[in-house]
Amino acid sequence: MLYEGKAKQIYLTDDADRVVIRYTDAATAFNNVKKAIIANKGVYNNRISAFIFGYLRDAGIENHYIAMLDDRDQLCRRVEIIPIEVIVRNVVAGSMAKRLGLEEGTRPSNVIYDICYKADELGDPLINDHHAVALGIVTYDELRGIYDMAAKINDALKSLFARVGVTLVDFKIEFGRTGDGRIILADEISPDTCRLWDMKTGDKLDKDRFRRDLGHVIEAYEEIYSRLESLKAE
């Protein structure tokens, strides 16, 4: 094992450019304050993330995903994760609603991009572009490329989820550097890292069910998976 995160483990392979990413059933919220095991969450997140990264690759967005190996494991390109979480918001929710005193569900006229510094000991603080450059993590040019990719990913995912009756409220993505120095989409895109609301009922179909003790957590993940799966038949 190369690295263990909160909900995933990364394993080395015989190929220096490839890793296996294992999705576990561990769930955490509020920077590890709330913890639980949610049976089969890893299986659904592995499948959902594989589906989404495959879809994004077909849409021309280069990413680390190569192939699904089994229920919990996927083969990915090895990258050096840039310690920035890029958050894209189409609808106001979560920390943005709280910070700005806005009602959850408010639909702004623009798309909002936040960046957070991935540093557990600091609680992943919200930063801006200047902080990221001062930290030596990225250049301004690289940030421009990252925001450009984030906008394309948002467009592609918004329309994917709309096809299955789901509003993509917000999501978090991470990028990594390849061996040859390019920056590509990496990590995971799943109900752990997105807010997904049913278009008809407004039901939350994501990790907020765990964060806010709403119950039926795994059912929500299963629902997202089966709706995405249904597109394969089209």
What is the contact surface with ligand ASP in residues (CB under 6 A)? Answer: 6, 28-32, 207, 211
Span of 12-20, 59-67, 89-97, 157-165 interacting with ligand TMP by CB under 6 A: 89-97
Pick from 49, 170, 175, 204: which binds ligand TMP (CB under 6 A)? 170
Q: Could you tell me if 229 and 88 are in contact, meaning their C-beta atoms sit under 8 angstroms apart?
A: no
Number of residues that bind ligand TMP (CB under 6 A): 12
Rounded Cα distance between 134 and 137, Å, is 8
Residue 211 interacting entry, from ligand ASP, ligand TMP, none, C-beta within 5 to 8 Å by type: ligand ASP
> Beta partners for 19?
12, 76
Q: Which of residues 1-60 bind ligand TMP (CB under 6 A)?
A: none
Please identify, using beta-carbon distances, which residue of 62 and 124 lies nearer to ligand TMP.
124
Please identify, using beta-carbon distances, which residue of 173 and 183 lies nearer to ligand TMP.
173
Residue 170 interacting entry, from ligand ASP, ligand TMP, none, C-beta within 5 to 8 Å by type: ligand TMP
Residue 64 interacting entry, from ligand TMP, ligand ASP, none, C-beta within 5 to 8 Å by type: none
Question: Contact letters (x/-) for ligand TMP, 123-162, by CB under 6 A?
Answer: -x--------------------------------------
Residue nearest to ligand ASP (CB): 28
Tell me the angle at which helices 217-232 and 140-163 cross, rounded to the nearest 10 degrees.
80
**Ramachandran category for residue 63: left, alpha or beta (phi over 0 → left; psi -120 to 50 → alpha):** beta
Tell me the angle at which helices 217-232 and 41-58 cross, rounded to the nearest 10 degrees.
30
Instruction: Find the helix or strand (DSSP H, E) in which 19 lies.
Output: strand 18-23
Rounded Cα distance between 86 and 147, Å, is 8
Three-state SS for 108?
coil
Please identify, using beta-carbon distances, which residue of 85 and 222 lies nearer to ligand ASP.
85
Cα separations in angstroms, 25 against 4, 36, 131, 216: 13, 8, 34, 15
Residues binding ligand TMP (CB under 6 A): 87, 93-96, 124, 170-172, 193-195
